[in-house]
Each structure stands twice: as structure tokens, then as C-alpha cells.
Amino acid sequence: MGSNVNRRKFLVAAAGAGVGAMVPLRARAQSKTLVVATFPGTWNEAHRNLLAPYFKKRTGASVTQSIQLATEQLAKLEAAKGGRPPFDVAILDEPQVFDAAKQGLIDEYPEAKSPNFKDLFPAYQDKWGPKISLQVIGIGYNPNKIKTRPKSYDDLLNPAYKGRVGLTALNSQLGMAFLAEYNRIHGGNETNFDPAFTALRKLLPNVGAVAANLGAYATLWQQEQVDIAPYNFNFVQTLKAKGVPVEFVVPETGLVGWTTSLHLTKNAVEPDLAVQYIDSHLAADMQSEMEKPPYDIIPTNSKVPLSAAIMQTVAKTPADLSKIRGFEWTKINPQRTALIERFNREIKL
């Protein structure tokens, strides 16, 4: 009997401790929750710190984030096709939007229910989902460790940087955009990626780490595992705001960019909330908040003027923004799986 009582006491104590610790924090009203996807790095922080509270004030619903790359979101949506999607709002880069629409994973955006939609520049008013920003890549470097400012991607090959160069895996858009640009610089095009891989092989001895995604990339910078790498503009700004020594450089070959957009997934559980969430992201006041440090997210709302940081580094006017070079993603998309596999083989130690 003794140990019986003891055992019961212990179980009750443990359960009580667990419940007791949780209860005060869970005493909020049982409100609705919207499950959304977001990108690693700056994006999930901006969405968590700015967008979620704004959305909550507007609708009273809270947000559960799932941090995934665009390619991962497509895979998850494809796997769940026909049933309930794992999240109601997808965030996709330009290349993935074509595939998502083609594979029937997203719904057309109900513009009528979205008051802020018309405030966007016409180029960003897409029927499959509004463009919320432009992402541009260049070179990021640690000015404390690297004294000469790099000028082009070929500077990454400098033997002095052995083991200090960083890359991201090819399923991240940064990785793909960099490879496409590296390819173009070395004479290839959207249908021929061989020059890219030849150049990559020369770069590999300098590569210190390949990050799975941009968030992991940020960690590498913070822990000073890499000192120079191809990098997104606003991610560099976010790290700078956290006190990490890093600077963004526009390479001589120019900036490369793509649009990022939000989408309503097919068979979403809370479609109205999802549209309100996306609409919140389009609002002028939201986009001006996101434009400020540490997020520096380039705005797409015509009512939001460009910030000083963006004007200084990226583009002076919205017209300049739309001129930033991209790629013909429809040509690259069919090769994506093969490219990823080829890349994984090359980088494997």
C-alpha cells in the first residue's frame, strides 16, 4: 500500500506541476488560429513581431507559423492534395508560383475581399496572389575579417578565403538565384547549367559551410563560421541590427532579384482569415513598418516611399526596382529537381 500511495502521489505531483505551470499562460480566450507558412530568417521574425500582432488586432485571431522554404511548402501541399492543406497561407518566391498554380495547390486570390490590393503597383497585383516584396541578392562580407571590399562573385574564389565562404543549399531561392547568376557570369543560360557546376567545383575548396536555409545561414554568420557569401539584402540588414559585423555589397555584375508573394491555399481551413492576413501584409502602414530596420523589407505598396537604406543600396525609385534583373524561371523550374540532386552530390563531403 505504501508504494502505491507514493507512486500515486508522485504522478499527481508531476501532472499537477505540469498543468499548474501551463494554466495561467493558457488562460487566454479560446480564439481562432490561422496556420501560415513563412520563410526562415528575417521573414519569420517580421511576421511574428509585426504582422501577427497587427492581424490579431484586426481579427482577434492568433497565428501559428510554420517556417519552411518555398520548395518545401510545395512538397507539403502536393502531399496533402485533395485533403486539408497543412497551412492556409503559403509564401512563395516567383519560380514556385508557376508550379503552384499549375499543380492546383493555390486558389486565385479573391481581390474583392482585399481592400489593400488596389494600392499595390500594377505589376505586383497578380491574380494568384499579391507580391509583397522584392528580394535582391549580392555579396555579404564581414568587414572585421575581410579588409578589402569584394567587388564580384569571382572574388569568392580568392585563396585567402579558404574555408570562409558560405553557401545555401539549392532548395533555398538564394542558393538557386546565386547558381543561376554564377552560371550566367560564366557563360551559361537557363537551359545550360554546366558552366555553373564547373565554376562551383572551383569554389568548393573555399566553402566553409553550406547552410540548409537562410536562417541557418544567419546562425553561421552570428557564430562567425563564414566571413563572405552571396546573401540577401534584407537578411544582411537584419543581422547588422543584431550587432553582427556584416556589410552588403552590390556586385559589379549587378543585383539579381525576384518577387515574393502570399497565396491562399486550396481547401484552406480558414479562407476568410487567410485573406485578411494577406491583406494585412499589403497595408501601407504595415509595409512601412516592415521597411524599417531591422527588417528592411522592400515594399510593394505604391503609397509607401522607399527607405533611405533601400535607396542607397538597391534602387532609387520604384521604377528602378522593377528593372532589377531576374531569370526565366519557367525554363529553370522543370530542371529544379535534377539541379538539386546534382548540387547535393557536388557538395557532399
Partner 1 sequence: MATLVEDPVSPTGRPKGEPRPLGGQRSDEVASVGGSHAPRAQSITWDVRSQRALFGILTAIAIVFLLGPTIIVLLTSLTATESLRFPPHGYSLRWYKALLDADQMQAAAWNSLIVAFWTTVVSVVLGTAGALGIAHAASRFARAADLLFMSPLILPALAFGFAALVYIHQLGFHPSIPLLIVGHVVVCVPFVLRTTIAALAQVDRALFDASASLGAGWWMTFRRVTLPLIGRGVGAGAFLAFMASFDNVPVSLFLADERTEVLPIHLWQQIDTNLDVRTAAISGVIIIVTIVLMVLAERFAGLSRQLSR
Partner 2 sequence: MRDEWPLALPLAALFVAFFVAPFFVLLALSLRVDVQVHALSFAQYAKFFGDTFNLSILWSTVWLAIRATLVCLLFGYPIAWVCSRAPARFQSLLVFAVVLPILTSVVVRTFAWIVILGREGVMNDVLRALHIVDQPVPLLFTETGVITVLAQVQMPLMVLPLFATLSRIDPNLADASAALGAGAWRTFFRVTVPLSTPGLVAGCILVFSACATAFVTQTLIGGARLVYMPLHIYQQAVGANNWPFAAAISVVFTIAVMIVIYVLNRAGSTSRAYGDAR
Question: In the window 132-191, what residues touch partner 2 (CB under 8 A)?
Answer: 163, 169, 171
**Residue 150 site contact among partner 1, partner 2, none (CB < 5 to 8 Å, cut-off depends on kind):** none
C-alpha to C-alpha distance for 172 and 212, rounded to whole angstroms: 8
C-alpha to C-alpha distance for 235 and 232, rounded to whole angstroms: 5
**Residue 12 site contact among partner 1, partner 2, none (CB < 5 to 8 Å, cut-off depends on kind):** none
Q: What is the SS3 assignment for 79?
A: helix
Angle (CA) 36-37-43 rounded to 5° is 115
We find the least distance from the C-beta atom of residue 223 to partner 1, in angstroms, to be: 8
CB count in 10 Å sphere of residue 316: 11
**Does residue 208 interact with partner 2 by CB under 8 A?**
yes
**Does residue 211 interact with partner 2 by CB under 8 A?**
yes
Backbone angles phi, psi at 325, to 5 degrees: -65, 140
Instruction: Candidates 40, 51, 54, 76: give the one binding partner 2 (CB under 8 A).
Output: 76
**Does residue 66 interact with partner 1 by CB under 8 A?**
yes
Which x/- pattern, by CB under 8 A, does the window 20-59 give for partner 2? ----------------------------------------
We find the least distance from the C-beta atom of residue 211 to partner 1, in angstroms, to be: 9
Q: What is the SS3 assignment for 288?
A: helix
**Stretch (H or E) spanning 241:** helix 233-241
**Does residue 2 interact with partner 1 by CB under 8 A?**
yes
**Residue 298 site contact among partner 1, partner 2, none (CB < 5 to 8 Å, cut-off depends on kind):** none
**Does residue 145 interact with partner 1 by CB under 8 A?**
no
DSSP-assigned letters across all residues of 26-41: H-S----EEEEEE-TT
Peptide bond into 251 cis (omega under 30): no
We find the least distance from the C-beta atom of residue 76 to partner 1, in angstroms, to be: 8
**Does residue 222 interact with partner 1 by CB under 8 A?**
yes
